[in-house]
Chains A and B, each alone.
Chain A
């Protein structure tokens, strides 16, 4: 079995991709430890030059092109392992939760790679040498369908779409699904499956939100993939600002509970063959 690699995706910004990335990664790592897994290591790959996931999980965003994902993407095949061992840092939360940090130079690196043959596979190739060192990998993407996001999708086994329950969001949903299928078929990456849809910033007092969830639930395919409904909750924003996981910031908050439930759902999806 290959290491499950989850990519959080949506070409829109501000929908909770980064928040979901770090809380999912943290939760997976924590529960794998709890389960006594021989290898509970989880790796976060931050592909967004804004480095929000990096900052939250490591407490720093002072990474340059030499000690961030930039170096990994630019490495020669032969040096990849050595570069990865140098670049990967431990999160400041759990010793088994690691991060490939992003840096502001990622966009420049992306531009340089445009003309390189095989560029879209750079991340997949790099991760292939370190993949089995981890029990799971979680990739955060930036809000666009750029080359970098394609790299993330091509490196992944499981795509999870993050959505806000706004009225027009369902329209956007279709374009994200299309992108995943394009990667799967067009790029011949049949191992990529659409594994989940998580709704964030849900407010049950808003009628539209309720209706959207209801229609998702009714959907013949997507209904089964609804893997989390995360309420809009101040604790998330505060946790973010304090560079904490939401569980650590306030384990009693509704968002913590919802994320924990999502972790359970994902763990089953990723590790139990016959599930879902």
Chain B
């Protein structure tokens, strides 16, 4: 029997009247519509961090692999912990389990300075332990990005809680939960980089590089430029270097407010930090170096930036010292040094001062290549050693000279 398609259609009338305020009542309708006011428990495995989030929880290389879907969240955490384990071992304070890391940090408080990576992991572990003890988490704000039957949610705010939760589940023995985490769910169209930025810049705040990325992200968004899928490279944020707020006056107030109420000058200064070359940028991020110190580094030639950052970290250089160091390097001549030194010599000496200074074996092999045989190479070596001996004597004899 073919279906009848004539006559009044009561069914459709009924079905559509069900979706009426009169039928369900305004309160129920409102509830159904603002999912956002409800806290639901969502399986953490359905949730992913936002790849463009300016605040980085994972070290850069792991962050990249994770967002390119090369590793799972658990593998990412495992690699992170392993990375820190190596550093801790080198520093002579190895830890077995994550909980040991908490204790190591505590005993040494004041006496030893933990490296930035150790400190970050320790903080995250602390958060995981707190989650476990409190038995509940502040809800994450997530955006429903499910397509068809494939469920998926992206974090708008709360990425640290996400990782801490995974840590609690996978790396701290005795997890009792069911793999879900409380969330406030937004619809795709309801997500907002402005709200995310506000959340980022309030409370714990962002470090300088985080602020730079945040500034870029807002600027790009108001110019309708959106992050690509997967890992978001430094170059994506750098696209903002060519943009400014001038052409978008209607957004200026909102952008600055979302950045935590900073001035236009600060906004531009932070954004400018994206000019740092990759390695310098990543170190500055990891070690939370302030804009006031990075400001001088940005203007240096790209090939020198990483080295300067390394010195800032190793010697804890003050803003003033960074400025002087940069001025000095820029002129390539020490200010108060009147003697004539050649740039060539300077470069050669600097090679030996850098963090990745050449190994003895490397020097020997180059000498061999240059001189052609061992005998000649050894004679050359003698003369080099002599030069350094003279330098040593010079320093001993001129103990009182200070250049800065």
Contact = CB atoms under 8 A, between A and B. Distances in A.
Interface in A259-273: 259-261, 263-264, 267-268, 271-272
B34 A38 contact: yes
A129 B179 contact: yes
Interface stretch (B22-30, B91-99, B120-128): B22-30
Q: Is the interface of B mostly helix, strand, loop or mixed?
A: mixed
A52 interface: no
Contacts of B23: 264, 268
B7 A98 contact: no
Where chain A touches its partner, the secondary structure class is: helix
Interface stretch (A76-84, A148-156, A189-197): A76-84
Given A30-B15, A81-B46, A90-B149, A35 B32 contact: yes
A249 B3 contact: yes
Contacts of A37: 32-33, 35
Contacts, number: 138
A89 interface: yes
B11 interface: yes
Interface stretch (A12-20, A110-118, A211-219, A250-258): A250-258
B179 A80 contact: yes
B248 interface: no
Interface string B172-192: 000000111000010100000
B225 interface: no
Question: B18, B32, B45, B148: which has the most chain A beta carbons within 10 Å?
Answer: B18
Interface stretch (B36-44, B233-241, B303-311): B36-44
Given A39-B185, A133-B151, A252-B4, A1 B38 contact: yes
A129 B149 contact: no
A249 B185 CA distance: 35
A257 B3 CA distance: 14
A90 B146 CA distance: 12
A129 B43 contact: yes
Nearest to B5: A252
B204 interface: no
A78 B46 CA distance: 13
Contact of B15 (A34, A78, A88, A98): A34
26 contacts: A31-B18, A35-B29, A36-B33, A37-B32, A38-B32, A38-B34, A38-B144, A81-B45, A88-B149, A89-B149, A90-B149, A129-B179, A129-B180, A133-B46, A133-B146, A235-B3, A247-B15, A250-B5, A251-B9, A251-B12, A252-B4, A252-B8, A252-B10, A252-B11, A253-B11, A272-B28
Given A39-B185, A252-B5, A272 B25 contact: yes
B15 A271 contact: no
Contacts of B17: 264
Interface in A102-121: none
Contacts of A252: 4-11
Contact of A38 (B1, B18, B35, B151): B35
Nearest to A260: B14
Contacts of B44: 81
B24 A268 contact: yes
Nearest to A99: B149
Select the residue from A88, A135, A260 with max chain B CB neighbours within 10 A: A260
| 4 residue pairs, one from A and one from B, having the closest CB atoms | A34-B19, A38-B35, A35-B19, A132-B40
Given A133-B151, A247-B11, A263-B14, 4 more contacts: A41-B146, A95-B148, A131-B41, A253-B4
A255 B344 CA distance: 93
B22 to A, nearest CB: 12
In the complex, which range does the number of interface residues on chain B fall in?
A: 35 or more
B19 A36 contact: yes
A39 B35 contact: yes
B28 A128 contact: no
A132 B42 contact: yes
A267 B18 contact: yes
Interface string A33-55: 11111110100000000000000
Interface string B238-272: 00000000000000000000000000000000000
B24 A130 contact: no
Contacts of B385: none
Contacts of B179: 77-78, 80-81, 129
Interface in A192-251: 234-235, 238, 247, 249-251
B140 to A, nearest CB: 13
A222 to B, nearest CB: 24
